[in-house]
Structure 1
Amino acid sequence: MLDSAFDVTTSYDYDYQFTEPDHVDYDQFVQQCEKGDIRSFRQSFLPAIYAVITVLGFFGNGLVVITYIYFKRLRTMTDVYLLNLALADLLFLLTLPFWAVSVVKQWIFGLVMCKAVYVLYRVSFFSGMLLLMCISIDRYFSIVRAASAHRLRSRAVYCSKVVSVCVWLFSLLLSLPELLYTAEKQSNSGTLCKMNLDNSTIVFTAGTQLAVGFFIPLVVMLFCYCFIIKTLLLARNFEKNKAIKVIIAVVLVFLLFQLPYNSVMLIDTINDVNATVTNCDFSKRMNVAIDVSKSLAYARCCLNPFLYAFIGVKFRRDLLKLMKELGCMSGEKLMRSTHLRSAWSSKRGSIATDTDSTTTFSP
């Protein structure tokens, strides 16, 4: 879990005060688990990887938000979900510098910021996962249920905004344990920001993260994308192979980046509840596994713009226009790029114009 990733003290740390008898069998006492090497690893690894994730994530998701707002192009449900997904990723990235500082030093930002950063992390995490699920559902109806989706097109954007608001409110509701139980705690390494939980609360928070933050979105994505691929295979369209590759990439990225962390977190939660870990080396390996897998899961937010937004033809066109207006691209390069795309589209036939103006075959 997140709080355990920044607390290098363990349940093995005991302070025994007793009068030593003449004959003591020291093998009967639990030895302190020294984790100075784990602390050193975190102080070098986590701040560096968090810095890379923050820079890349702000760049990609920032471009998505600026492009959508500048061109006011929230014309489809997917547009609304993508904008909210980028905002969720940006909010999530705001928490990483605080965790990086706490790893290098200690928690120096006070109790209010401790609660705020935890809640912000949790809200952005849940909302991001639920929005990925909403995107897959929208694509399912756009492709598999195209006729019914077209009939409801006039109300689609409004419905997506309502769904997005519900996603944010539900994510905030799931973040109440962080608001209630997060506190500052003194340890041998200084002040920590962590959650003080009993076993039942640990099971609840870990269970909600595993269910809402992984299993439910994964099942929905697999269901929707399997039917989408089946529909694409039956369709006569030049872009279906590309669309299928994109779908496979989306699912594989989700699994490769999220499965390791959720698996490790499940094992760590079971160990915390049952207090079964008595081996110091195993505890150290778990700490490293949590740090590495968690960093991998965090890095996924850097890929969301490329997997969901930048791949759209209309979005890329608007992004090029924005870069020109910001002075990052000359008008000649923009015209050349647009001309090449237009020439390529004319060679592919009339079906290409439908792809350029819709999201039907742009997963």
Structure 2
Amino acid sequence: MNPFDYNYTEEELLAAYGEIEEPCSVNHRKNIENFLQLFVHPIICIVGFIGNTLVILTYALYKRTKSMTDVYLLNVAIADILFVVALPLIIYSEQHDWAMGNWSCKLLHGVYSVNLYSGMLLLACISGDRYFAIVQARRSFRLRSSTLLYSRLVCVAVWLLALVLSLPTFVFYERYQPGPVESSLYNSTQDSNTPYECFFRFHSNETARMMKTMVPSSQVAVGFCLPLLIMGFCYSSVIVTLLRAKNFQRHKAVRVVLTVVLVFVACHMPYNIALLYYTINIFSEQECSHEEAVELTMIITKSLAYVHSCLNPLLYAFIGVNFRNHFQKILRDIWCLGKNYMSARRSSRVTTEMYISSRRSVDGSTNDNGTSFTM
């Protein structure tokens, strides 16, 4: 059990833990956490940033958002890219004693929480949109005729709900330095230069108990179970409808749907099961070995959940034929611009006049390509 679930005074901690001979060691957990933060999470952030940036650029420059799914996919990419930007800043701050101050502690963890909720809920919205488009195609025709307005309202509602669910993080997260008694419970040697922490900080036991139960519970319930139930119902109905079609392309679509669901479950279920178990036993006394095993499980499974932000572009955007066509057009245009630019650089070595002429040709090609942005 974490002895600081309530902000006890040092006198109370001394009275409660005065007979403890040796505190639980956290060195093994810290080593694994540092390894993941320094070698695994940067890869996740780089891949996720590149993939989601390409999705945003494709929608912004080439594929104008024309359907509800397009709007949802664009918002998912925005949520994921904000997530992979906030994560390395959090890691950097943890490694450097939260030197940017209390505001960075609240802001970074708050943004992290907002994008966590919004990303998961938007994936549920995509499954709902696919359900209405395939299973309830006739009944939803009028509703989907005003796709952009409806989908934008849904996205605004999702972001607002994510912000409301993240308010405890903005309010109660603080940068603080553990006291000498608190430090001694976690360190076998006394260190006057105790590093700063960024975590929940409460001023009453009642608030601590309520928030330390409510926050992870809402993350499991709203951030995982609710999207999973919606996706399970919608995609199972979609699969039944597609199987009735008896078409090869529809059977291929079934495999895509199953892949989407299985990847979602494989990435997020382990961490949410560990988080739920931790929440249920948060106020119970545990052996050091058991507590360390639970915390290690949460650290490793959380990294697995991060991987989903890298896979979202592949699962939802690049899997579509139209989106791939637009993306290939981007690559061709970039290649042509780069080729013309290199040609211009080579010609500049011969004469200045040829260099100016080639630069004009590049400008002309850019203007021609501008027409493709609106297609």
Structure 2 counterpart SS, 1:147: coil
1:282, distance to aligned residue in structure 2 (A): 1.5
Alignment deviations for residues 236-260 of structure 1 (CA, whole Å, 9 cap, x no partner): 3221121111111111111111011
Partners of 1:182 and 1:193 within 8 A in 2: yes
What does 1:168-207 correspond to in 2, within 5 Å?
A: 168-187=159-178, 188=183, 189-197=194-202, 198-207=208-217
What does 1:125-274 correspond to in 2, within 5 Å?
A: 125-187=116-178, 188=183, 189-197=194-202, 198-272=208-282, 274=283
- Using a 3 Å threshold, how does the CA distance of structure 1 residues 38 and 328 change in structure 2: closer, same or farther? farther
Structure 1 counterpart SS, 2:177: strand
Q: Residue 311 of structure 1 aligns to which amino acid in structure 2?
A: I
Aligned with residue 115 of structure 2, among 109, 114, 124: 124
Matched, 1:90 2:95: no
Alignment deviations for residues 76-115 of structure 1 (CA, whole Å, 9 cap, x no partner): 0000000000000011111111232244343222111111
1:71, distance to aligned residue in structure 2 (A): 1.7
d(CA) in 1 for partners of 2:10, 2:162: 40
Aligned with residue 283 of structure 1, among 253, 269, 291: 291
Partners of 1:47 and 1:101 within 8 A in 2: no
Structure of higher RCO (CA pairs closer than 8 Å, 6+ residues apart): 2
d(CA) in 2 for partners of 1:30, 1:218: 45
Partners of 2:5 and 2:209 within 8 A in 1: no
- Aligned-residue RMSD, C-alpha: 2.8
Matched, 1:60 2:51: yes
d(CA) in 2 for partners of 1:102, 1:37: 21
Identity %, equivalent residues: 39
1:263, distance to aligned residue in structure 2 (A): 0.7
Partners of 1:137 and 1:220 within 8 A in 2: yes
Range moving further from structure 2, 130-139 or 97-106: 97-106
Partners of 2:217 and 2:279 within 8 A in 1: no
- Using a 3 Å threshold, how does the CA distance of structure 1 residues 9 and 290 change in structure 2: closer, same or farther? farther
1:15, distance to aligned residue in structure 2 (A): 7.7
The structure with more radius of gyration: 2
Structure 2 equivalent of residue 339 of structure 1: none
Aligned with residue 115 of structure 1, among 106, 110, 120: 106
1:302, distance to aligned residue in structure 2 (A): 0.3
Structure 1 equivalent of residue 205 of structure 2: none
Aligned residues: 317
Alignment deviations for residues 44-63 of structure 1 (CA, whole Å, 9 cap, x no partner): 22221110110000011110
Structure 2 equivalent of residue 296 of structure 1: 304
d(CA) in 1 for partners of 2:23, 2:5: 9
Alignment deviations for residues 127-168 of structure 1 (CA, whole Å, 9 cap, x no partner): 001100000000001100111233333201210011011111
- Using a 3 Å threshold, how does the CA distance of structure 1 residues 181 and 10 change in structure 2: closer, same or farther? closer
d(CA) in 1 for partners of 2:295, 2:99: 23
Range moving further from structure 2, 296-305 or 235-244: 235-244
TM-score by length of 1: 0.81
d(CA) in 2 for partners of 1:15, 1:8: 11
d(CA) in 2 for partners of 1:97, 1:117: 10
- Using a 3 Å threshold, how does the CA distance of structure 1 residues 256 and 328 change in structure 2: closer, same or farther? farther
Q: Residue 296 of structure 2 aligns to which amino acid in structure 1?
A: V
Structure 2 counterpart SS, 1:194: strand
1:72, distance to aligned residue in structure 2 (A): 4.7
- The runs of 5 or more residues in structure 2 that have no matched partner are 184-193, 203-207, 340-375
